Chain A
Amino acid sequence: DVKVTQSSRYLVKRTGEKVFLECVQDMDHENMFWYRQDPGLGLRLIYFSYDVKMKEKGDIPEGYSVSREKKERFSLILESASTNQTSMYLCASSLEAGGANEKLFFGSGTQLSVL
């Protein structure tokens, strides 16, 4: 089974701090994604990556950046955390970009609180 591991289950940070959220997948997947999930707003795509060192903006990239130095690891960076970035962050991966039989596999999520 595919395993997508997010390094922290809960995080509490202060406004202005630089925050790193780490995600690792163990199935040699090409694609990795970062979403945030908020009540009433559903899942929204922040950034995604189709290959090492490649990144694409999703629907809400403002205030975030990403890093993919190795295929298995995709990091989400909050350059200067703000209270409106308090949210559940979900990482996901898939083998290829799209495709009729392409499944998306999710990590367990990181609940980030910015005080």
Chain B
Amino acid sequence: KQEVTQIPAALSVPEGENLVLNCSFTDSAIYNLQWFRQDPGKGLTSLLLIQSSQREQTSGRLNASLDKSSGRSTLYIAASQPGDSATYLCAPWGTNDYKLSFGAGTTVTVRA
């Protein structure tokens, strides 16, 4: 069974700092890995998808890297803003069980 761990569980930074969010997973047999954002009491919004054959994916201030063989992905958010405050979840999509497995998330607070 895929186990997904996200470190740190919570992070508080002043505006303008770069954010580094870590995700590790135990089963490297994946189709892709997705990063989601969740605002309090809301659903999840997909931020980035990295295919298993890719090393990284970028969208604006967001960059996600993937090292499938070591079971790690990192989400970088450049020049953080208060609007980036949310919980970020990573989810690899397994090829064996055909489903996403979620980490518990990293809750980010960006202080103005």
Pair from one complex: yes
Chain A residues with CB under 8 Å of chain B are 4, 33, 40-43, 45, 48, 58, 88, 90, 92, 97-109, 111
CA distance A43 to B105 in the complex (A): 10
**Which of A33, A48, A97, A103 counts the most chain B CB atoms within 10 A?**
A103
| Closest B residue, CB atoms, query A90 | B43
Q: A43-B102, A45-B99, A58-B99 are in contact. Are A100 and B53 (CB under 8 A)?
A: yes
Q: Mark B66-105, 1 if CB is under 8 A from A, else 0.
A: 0000000000000000000000010101110011101111
Chain B residues with CB under 8 Å of chain A are 31-32, 34, 36, 41-46, 49, 51-53, 89, 91, 93-95, 98-100, 102-105
Which residues of the other chain, A, contact B105 by a CB distance below 8 angstroms? 42
Which residues of the other chain, A, contact B52 by a CB distance below 8 angstroms? 100
Q: How far is the CB of A107 from chain B (nearest CB, A)?
A: 5
CA distance A86 to B70 in the complex (A): 37
**Which of B36, B45, B100 counts the most chain A CB atoms within 10 A?**
B100
A100 contacts B34, CB within 8 Å? no
Other-chain contact of A97, B34, B43, B46, B98 (Cβ < 8 Å): B98
Number of A-B contacts (CB under 8 A): 60
Which residues of the other chain, A, contact B32 by a CB distance below 8 angstroms? 99-102
A98 contacts B31, CB within 8 Å? yes
CA distance A115 to B36 in the complex (A): 31
Other-chain contact of A106, B44, B98, B104 (Cβ < 8 Å): B44
